[in-house]
Amino acid sequence: HGLPAGPGDALCHGPLGLAIAPDAPNLAGQGAIYVAAQLRAYRSGERKHEVMAVIAKGLSDADIAGLAAWYASIKVEAKPPD
């Protein structure tokens, strides 16, 4: 199931990948391939975001794979409006 989110992740994306910050996306239930690709894009500078660039720069490929697997393993239920 990968690495659990760290304290830096939880500040914006919440401890279970449900965003706390209004400008941060939910990561819970996102596909591992998608999350890994976005983290690699932040790390390389291909994708721009001041905070994420700093966080992703310190991640190894193994860290990225672990985080992607963690978020992908969280089950999210969607319900239509009443």
Phi, psi of 36 (to 5 degrees): -60, -45
d(CA 59, CA 4): 14
Q: What is the pLDDT of residues 21-48, one digit of tens each?
A: 999 999 999 999 999 999 999 999 999 9
Name the pTM for this structure: 0.86
Mean pLDDT along residues 4-10: 68
Mean pLDDT along residues 60-70: 93
For residue 15, pLDDT over 70 is answered with yes
Total Cβ atoms within 10 A of residue 40: 16
Mean pLDDT along residues 51-56: 92
Total Cβ atoms within 10 A of residue 62: 10
- Give the pLDDT score at 7: 61
- Tell me the three state secondary structure of residue 15: coil
